[in-house]
Amino acid sequence: MAAGSDYAAFVLDYGADESPCDPSALAVNDSGMRFESRWKFSVGSCLSVTIPGEMRRDGVVVDCQPAGSGSFETQLLFVENLCACATNTFLASR
């Protein structure tokens, strides 16, 4: 990507697997987020989310459906201090 452009990436298992994300397929609000990725997450999975300029947030996958072209649209509900996300770390970075 060109310098200065937005970039979002998903990083799992502390960097063992990474995938770029189309920023237009990523929506974050106070209660959770929606994103598309190549990974299919099970409903109930705990994810730890880090967004630059914000603190880390923990969340629970409440929906994950095929979005076409081999990707999945995932709905994540933020649940502060509830999930012990020991194995899956999810980073959205710029």
Domain presence at residue 3: no
**What pLDDT does residue 65 have?**
96
Q: How many structural domains compose the chain? A: 1
Residue pLDDT, tens place only, 3-22: 444 556 677 766 677 777 77
Domain presence at residue 70: yes
Domain presence at residue 32: yes
Of 63, 74, 68, 80, the C-alpha closest to 10 is 74
Domain presence at residue 57: yes
Question: Cα separation of 65 and 59, whole Å?
Answer: 17
* pLDDT band for position 24 (cuts 50, 70, 90): confident
Domain presence at residue 2: no
Q: Which domain holds residue 41?
A: 8-91
3-state SS assignment for residue 23: helix
* pLDDT band for position 31 (cuts 50, 70, 90): confident
Q: Specify the residue for token string 């990507």.
A: 1
Q: Are 10 and 94 in contact (CB under 8 A)?
A: no
Domain presence at residue 1: no
